[in-house]
Amino acid sequence: MNKRNFAFGRMNFILLGVGMLVVIIGFVLMGGDASTDEAYNPDIFSARRTKVAPIVCLVGFLSMIYAVVFKPKNETFAEEVEEPEEEQPVEEPAAQPSGKVETVAEQPAQSAADEMAERTRKLEERLAALRKLSEQAKQGGQQATHNEQA
């Protein structure tokens, strides 16, 4: 899979992992012995369980939110997302068979449009094939119920 398909970068995943670890530490701090019917344990209301642990969990959740919205601004991120090359106009026009004259700078845009048209055509062919299969399945289902009635 190409790196451009990921929603998050490496740093986002590292920050999410650290945030999750902090939340787990907060839950561990909340743990401990409980009171029973026979014995009351005053430790259930200790500052560690009622104040420190919830704050640690809150910090962990906030750091996870930050990890989701974090966008790196370093050079490795620029490598992951390829920016389009700047078009430099060329003075010499390239002659087209149709008599149309366009500059070399216009050619990449035209090839991108041709590529998009080709993709659209392929998708339309797939859609037509799926519709045909759907109709065949409907007809097969109708024939099966007709055979059962006979």
- Model pLDDT for residues 18-73, shown as the tens digit of each residue: 999 999 999 999 998 888 888 888 888 899 999 999 999 999 999 999 999 988 77
Which one, of 92, 89, 91, lies nearest residue 106 by Cα? 89
- Does residue 103 carry a pLDDT above 60? no
Give me the residue label for tokens 């974090």.
Answer: 70
Which one, of 92, 23, 33, 30, lies nearest residue 56 by Cα? 23
Question: Which pair of tokens denotes residue 96?
Answer: 């087209």
| In contact, 27 and 57? CB cutoff 8 Å | yes
Give me the residue label for tokens 């078009």.
Answer: 87
Q: What share of the chain is helix, strand, coil (3-state, %, to 5)?
A: 70, 5, 25
| Model confidence band, residue 75 (pLDDT cutoffs 50, 70, 90) | very low
**Which one has a higher pLDDT value, 112 or 22?**
22
Residue 107, judged by CB atoms within 10 A of its CB (0-12, 13-18, 19+), counts as middle
| In contact, 41 and 33? CB cutoff 8 Å | yes
Stretch 126-137: mean pLDDT: 88
Percentage of the chain exceeding pLDDT 90: 30
Alpha-carbon gap, residue 50 to 78, rounded angstroms: 44
